[in-house]
Amino acid sequence: MISRVLTAELAEHAGQRVTIAGWVHRRRQLKSVSFLVVRDRAGLAQVVVVGEPPGLPREESVVQVTGTVRTGPRAPGGVELVEPEIEVLSEPSEAPPFDLYRPVVAAGLPTILDHAPVALRHPLLRAPLEISAASVAGFRQALDGLGFTEIHTPKIVGSATESGANVFGIDYFGRPAYLAQSPQFYKQAMVGVFERVYEVGPVFRAEPHDTVRHLAQYTSLDAELGFVRDHRDVMVVLREVVAGMLESVRGRAAAAVDLLGAVLPEVPSEIPAIHFTEAQKLTDSEEPDLSPAQERWLCEWAVREHGSEFLFVTGYPMEKRPFYTHPDPARPGYSNGFDLLFRGLELVTGGQRLHRYDDYVAALDGDVAPYEGYLQAFRYGMPPHGGFALGLERWTARLTGAANIRQITAFPRDLHRLSP
């Protein structure tokens, strides 16, 4: 490793000669004094060069600077490096597509996405990714604390899980195969092994529409647990997990939250829940599913009526849920499946699953051949179980107020975008 101190630690070295390393965030050459702002993973630091403009390295050069740490009220953050020796480790071949040091991002979304490797270095574009990372850390920590085991399941699979419509087909050594739309089958099978499992991984959806909330690849935060009475036990775990994710964001990503001015929600000790039929009544609808506009309306209603930015809708009609969904024994036609809505958007889908082999055979109308691998688990005894999947990008978009999910996705994949 290059021996260095981080910019955020400079104040601890007042008066000493130290080395920092990072990118030239900004260069300002004046008549008798010039400034370099160096950016590293921890923050920014100013380097002061006295004398004639010395031909300083341009923005985004990677530099190593050895200098004396001077503290004082004139330095940004109260500390700067003086009498520097600057070594350039690599020089950019061209200027960034927009200035990374300006406090606003002076570029539209297509420019940002076309130049993502450099654009994401802008503090405002990096911050949502820090919030994502902290969220995932909180997800893992919350579930580890509840006795869950992290699993890793195949992303190349032999059958569709959610529906045949939006699956990407691939050629697998001459055989048809698919990119996994969800770890659904595998996480259920692993309940037979560990009782409680979770996975953080990419999933793929051949979404044919250009929307602000759909990607062709997104990160799914999945959990599944056995020995539940019904879906309500899953909802209790989900509430804990969401609270844990927020706690982690507050702790680990505090600077990113501040920079973005993001307002984090409170999680009520019990998230309000309404049955699907009640949601229909409230939105004056007879459709078997909720439209995006209805989801938005219901979220506003939950804030008004319950002071909660989260709302569970339970008991979706069986006809709209995948075949593995457990029916509600008390209400024919309705399921033990739920969605969690947050700030106007469906954030999580979950529910109780079928757990007996014969029920799967019936749900599939006997057409079990494509699902033989999946159904194996159920031939050997499975506990009543359920789980959920939370879309990480939707979560981060809602937390940061991004109107389009692409704004907070480093390298989004959609109908048009395959590079960078």
The span of 258-266, 298-306, 343-351, 368-376 binding ligand AMO (CB under 6 A) equals: 343-351
Q: How many residues does the chain have?
A: 420
Q: Is the peptide bond before 420 cis (omega within 30 degrees of 0)?
A: yes
Residue 51 backbone phi and psi in degrees, to 5: 115, -170
Q: Return the number of the residue (116 or 206) whose C-beta is nearest ligand AMO.
A: 206
Residue 327 is a binding residue for ligand AMO (CB under 6 A): no
The answer to whether residue 245 forms part of the interface with ligand AMO (CB under 6 A) is no
Comparing every residue's Cβ against ligand AMO, the nearest one is 391
Sign of the CA dihedral with 407 first, then 409, 415, and 416 last = positive
Residue 77 CB: number of other CB atoms within 10 A? 14
What is the closest distance, in whole angstroms, from the C-beta atom of residue 129 to ligand AMO in the complex? 16
* CB 105 to ligand AMO: min, Å: 23
What is the rounded distance in angstroms from the CA atom of residue 294 to the CA atom of residue 297? 5
Residue 204 touching ligand AMO (CB under 6 A): no
Q: Is 207 annotated as a binding residue?
A: yes
Work out which of 215, 237, 302, 402 binds ligand AMO, going by CB under 6 A.
215
Amino acid in position 206: A
Q: Which of 205, 231, 326, 406 binds ligand AMO (CB under 6 A)?
A: 205
Q: Cα dist. 62→23, 25, 27, 373, 392 in Å?
A: 4, 10, 13, 51, 32
Phi, psi of 144 (to 5 degrees): -55, -40
Of 14-22, 77-85, 287-295, 390-398, which part binds ligand AMO (CB under 6 A)? Answer: 390-398
Query: CA 390 to CA 95: how far, in whole Å?
Result: 38
- Asked if residue 394 belongs to a known ligand binding site, the reply is yes
For ligand AMO, the binding residue among 60, 130, 207, 295 (CB under 6 A) is 207
Q: Has 91 been labeled as part of a binding site?
A: no
| Dihedral sign of CA atoms 246, 248, 253, 254 in order | positive
Detail the DSSP E strand segments found in 158-209. 169-172, 175-179, 196-204
The candidate with the shortest Cα–Cα distance to 128, out of 231, 276, 262, 279, is 262
Each residue 345-374 as x (binds ligand AMO by CB under 6 A) or -, in order, gives -xxxxxx-----------------------
Single residue of 153, 184, 294, 400 touching ligand AMO by CB under 6 A: 184
State residue 245 phi and psi, 5-degree precision: -65, -40
Q: Which token pair is 262?
A: 């993001």
Q: Is 346 assigned to a binding site?
A: yes
Residues 6 or more apart whose CB falls under 8 angstroms from that of 250 comprise 257, 264
Nearer to ligand AMO, 7 or 181 (CB): 181
169 alpha carbon, distance to own chain's centre? 25
- Interface residue with ligand AMO among 140, 196, 214, 239 (CB under 6 A) is 214
Q: Name the 3-class secondary structure at 30.
A: coil
**Contact pattern from residue 116 through residue 145 relative to ligand AMO, giving x for each residue in contact according to CB under 6 A and a dash for the rest:** ------------------------------
Tell me the helices (H) and strands (E) count for the chain, helix number first: 11, 16
Quote the least distance from Cβ 175 to ligand AMO, whole Å. Answer: 24
Distance CA(388)–CA(398), nearest Å, equals: 18
Q: 218 or 312, CB closer to ligand AMO?
A: 218
Q: Which is nearer to ligand AMO, 278 or 346 (CB)?
A: 346
Q: Which residues are documented as binding site for ATP? A: 205-207, 213-215, 346, 391-394
Q: Which residues are documented as binding site for L-aspartate? A: 162, 205, 349, 353
Q: Which residues are documented as binding site? A: 162, 205-207, 213-215, 346, 349, 353, 391-394
Question: Where on the chain is the footprint of ligand AMO (CB under 6 A)?
Answer: 162, 182, 184, 205, 207, 214-215, 218, 220, 346-351, 387-389, 391, 393-394
